[in-house]
């Protein structure tokens, strides 16, 4: 057999078989192929709020740490955790034996100083008499001038000793007063009306106040009025103002939302791992005492809010069909009963500028003459001004509608203008058509 003679015949048969296969393969959007389906979201109605979120910690607006100013052993405790105390109430006592002995020592020192003052006064009086006698004798020329000078020196010395004795007496008196004051510090009083948050000592424990005052109790002034210190990112802090409303939740009460008011946005920054945050202080009413100090609060600052408005899911605003999807939808529309291509993609609604209102199918899905439509390559440069295109399903077919967006909370957007009603289905994805990958960035 001559193989070279069969090679051209084999090649020709292969070409014929390939052509037949190509003609038999249908396009994905051709009649009889897998039907196109759409993923949709529903237009709703309700309120929308622009928000900033942050985390914070609940605390009492005023917290006082009660310490001991003297050292000693705790002998009595009159307050415990969660106890309500009043200003001036005795909450603890320290052992006063050592302090009382210090008072006795200071009293003895004061008595000794007083005796030294009396002794110095007697010495001054004696030196004064001696000086006067020597001056009288000098006038009678019975003593020399040196004797008179010696008497004057003795008098001045006695006066100086009297001043020193009086100073020592004053010092002893001050020491006695200090000892009595220290004794009064052995009884610990509550400085404010409030609730005991923590107790750091027990009976029998010795506290040392030589270097710093040890904290015995922490008292919250009023747990009915609390505050939240939040860490707000520097990118969001410029949007916060005093008096702004805030909402927050705590893990202790899932599903329950609390409210507060921004009292202060502090200028002092806090840097953690290179991230700069600022403390926004929120006032919170806690009349039922359900909130407790130290709870972690997930705070939402309400920047702006609208009520009873048409809400468009942002997924519908982000949707942009590819060229292949546009062609597939046009092909499916045209393969129907013959009338479907006359209106579903035409701009008969609020978004159909330039659309065809006649019975023929327009050239582009948006009713314009350009290829690809607004979402495809031929329409990505289409300028709708301040409006955005969305695709509403009407009788199972997508229809272009232009809407003017307003306030958004990141998931839904307010419709300021447009031909949408609650319950309308908006396309977010087309299934059954392979198309090139596309980016769907945030609206």
| Residues 68, 71, 75, 78, Cα dihedral to 10° | 0
Contact 149, 135 (CB under 8 A): no
Backbone φ and ψ for 415, nearest 5 degrees, come out as -95, 115
Contact 426, 403 (CB under 8 A): no
Question: CA distances (Å), 288 to each of 194, 223, 255, 292, in order?
Answer: 16, 10, 17, 11
In angstroms, the CA 36 to CA 322 distance is: 14
pLDDT of residue 33: 55
Backbone φ and ψ for 194, nearest 5 degrees, come out as 175, -160
**Within the chain, how many helices (H) and strands (E) appear?**
6, 19
Distance of CA 139 to the CA centre of its chain: 94
In angstroms, the CA 422 to CA 16 distance is: 56
DSSP 415: E
| DSSP result, 261-281 | EEEEEEEEEEEETTEEEEEEE
In angstroms, the CA 161 to CA 47 distance is: 90
In angstroms, the CA 207 to CA 198 distance is: 16
Locus of tokens 């957007």: 413
Q: Do domains 51-60+221-308 and 70-95+187-217 have the same CATH topology?
A: no
pLDDT tens-digit profile, the chain (443 residues): 556 666 777 767 777 676 655 545 444 444 445 678 889 999 999 999 888 999 999 999 999 999 999 999 999 999 999 999 999 999 999 999 999 999 999 999 999 999 999 999 999 999 999 999 898 888 888 888 888 899 999 999 999 999 999 999 999 999 999 999 999 999 999 999 999 999 999 999 999 987 777 899 999 998 999 999 999 999 999 999 999 999 999 999 999 999 999 999 999 999 999 999 999 999 999 999 999 999 999 999 988 889 999 999 999 999 988 888 777 777 655 444 333 333 444 343 443 333 333 333 333 344 333 333 444 433 444 678 889 999 999 888 888 999 999 998 889 999 999 999 999 999 998 887 654 444 444 44
Contact 203, 74 (CB under 8 A): yes
Contacts of 48 (CB under 8 A, 6+ apart): 305, 306, 309, 311, 407, 408, 409, 412, 413, 414
Question: CA distances (Å), 361 to each of 144, 344, 365, 383, 399, in order?
Answer: 146, 9, 9, 23, 13
CATH annotation of 51-60+221-308: 2.40.30.170
**Closest-CA residue to 228 (of 272, 293, 287, 289):** 293
Question: CA distances (Å), 250 to each of 26, 60, 247, 294, 304, in order?
Answer: 59, 16, 11, 11, 23
Contact 309, 415 (CB under 8 A): yes
The domain spans of the chain are 37-46+311-431, 51-60+221-308, 70-95+187-217, 97-184
- Structure tokens given for 316: 């519908």
Residue 229, helix vs strand vs coil: strand
- Structure tokens given for 430: 């087309």
pLDDT of residue 260: 96
Residue 94: strand pairing partners: 74
Contact 209, 70 (CB under 8 A): yes
In angstroms, the CA 270 to CA 410 distance is: 27
**Closest-CA residue to 375 (of 312, 430, 323):** 323
What CATH fold (topology level) applies to the domain 70-95+187-217?
OB fold (Dihydrolipoamide Acetyltransferase, E2P) (2.40.50)
């Amino acid at each position: 057999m001559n193989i070279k003679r069969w090679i051209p015949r084999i090649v020709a048969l292969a070409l014929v078989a390939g052509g037949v296969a190509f003609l038999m393969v249908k396009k994905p959007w051709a009649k009889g192929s897998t039907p196109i389906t759409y993923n949709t979201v529903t237009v709703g109605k309700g309120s929308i709020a622009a928000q900033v979120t942050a985390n914070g910690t609940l605390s009492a607006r005023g917290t006082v740490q009660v310490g001991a100013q003297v050292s000693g052993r705790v002998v009595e405790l009159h307050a415990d955790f969660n106890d309500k105390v009043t200003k001036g109430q005795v909450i603890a006592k320290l052992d006063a034996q050592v302090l009382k002995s210090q008072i006795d020592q200071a009293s003895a020192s004061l008595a000794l100083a007083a005796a030294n003052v009396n002794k110095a006064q007697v010495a001054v009086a004696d030196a004064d008499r001696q000086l006067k006698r020597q001056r009288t004798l000098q006038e009678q020329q019975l003593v020399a001038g040196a004797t008179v000078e010696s008497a004057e020196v003795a008098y001045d010395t006695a006066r100086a000793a009297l001043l020193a004795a009086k100073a020592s007496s004053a010092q002893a008196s001050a020491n006695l007063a200090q000892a009595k004051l220290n004794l009064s510090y052995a009884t610990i009083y509550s400085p404010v009306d409030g609730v005991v948050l923590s107790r750091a000592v027990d009976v029998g424990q010795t506290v040392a106040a030589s270097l710093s005052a040890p904290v015995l109790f922490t008292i919250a002034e009023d747990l009915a009025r609390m505050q939240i210190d939040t860490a707000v990112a520097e990118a969001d802090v410029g949007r916060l103002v005093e008096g702004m409303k805030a909402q927050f939740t705590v893990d202790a009460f899932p599903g329950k939302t609390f409210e507060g008011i921004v009292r202060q946005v502090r200028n002092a920054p806090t840097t953690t791992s290179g991230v700069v945050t600022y403390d926004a202080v929120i006032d919170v009413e806690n009349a039922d005492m359900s909130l407790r100090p130290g709870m972690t609060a997930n705070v939402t600052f309400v920047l702006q809010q609208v009520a009873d408005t048409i809400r468009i899911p942002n997924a519908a605003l982000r949707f942009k069909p590819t060229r292949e999807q546009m062609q597939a939808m046009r092909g499916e529309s045209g393969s129907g009963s013959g009338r479907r291509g006359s209106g579903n993609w035409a701009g008969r609604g609020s978004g159909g500028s330039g659309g065809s209102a006649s019975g023929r199918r327009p050239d582009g899905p948006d009713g314009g003459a350009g290829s690809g439509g607004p979402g495809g390559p031929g329409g990505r440069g289409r300028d709708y001004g301040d409006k955005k295109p969305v695709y509403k399903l009407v009788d199972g077919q997508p229809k272009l509608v232009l809407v003017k967006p307003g306030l958004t909370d990141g998931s839904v957007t307010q419709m300021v203008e447009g031909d949408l009603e609650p319950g309308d289905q908006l396309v977010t994805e087309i299934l059954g058509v392979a198309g090139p990958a596309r980016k769907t960035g945030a609206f």
